[in-house]
Chains A and B, each alone.
Chain A
């Protein structure tokens, strides 16, 4: 499977713990996006990278959230001091920057904060 992959697929943690998610984009894609989806809602944009540069961050991304893409390939999203409100599906997408850019989504990481 050469699509976007995410790890882990599910994570259960206790409030106050730190969690880290990984996203591996499609290999030639230079853009990588993180979205969050809660029950009954569409995905909401969190942040995106072009190569290793983080170019935009949503106001949704509090200072407890940090994302990196150190070598312009895989990315990690860390949530520190998790809260119950962080429970959601975290989606990663990647794309190739061109005129008809299409974002390809991964399967998501489902986080449950107890």
Chain B
């Protein structure tokens, strides 16, 4: 079974402070991990994926297979980072995404 856990529902940070969103997963095979973001009144969109190993909008995420985690980090939060963030997983050989419950991030000016 594919399972994604995002323990914190709401995260409030001050502008310029670091942000870390936790994501843990459960999957018996070799997963592909993603972070999706939904800004206010916009559709869900891909932020980054672990195989790309790139930084998007200052965000990075490292897949830690030992800890089965894929935490999202940004050193300095900006007001435009306020959004809903979802961690998602797809398993090898299947394409469906399993999402966590999401984190609401509020960046305080």
Contact = CB atoms under 8 A, between A and B. Distances in A.
Given A56-B94, A100-B51, A42 B99 contact: yes
A37 to B, nearest CB: 8
A103 B97 contact: yes
B73 interface: no
A101 B95 contact: yes
Given A31-B95, A56-B94, A43 B101 contact: no
B83 interface: no
Contacts of A58: 96
A66 B97 CA distance: 20
Interface size classification for chain A: 20 to 34
A44 B44 contact: no
A72 interface: no
B45 interface: yes
Interface string B91-104: 00011111111100
**Main SS at interface, chain A:** loop
B95 A43 contact: no
A43 B46 contact: no
A44 B99 contact: yes
Contacts of B44: 43, 91, 105
A42 B96 CA distance: 13
Q: Residue among A3, A43, A101 with the most chain B CB within 10 A?
A: A43
A48 B88 CA distance: 17
In the A-B complex, the 6 residue pairs with the closest CB atoms: A42-B99, A45-B96, A105-B44, A107-B43, A43-B99, A105-B43
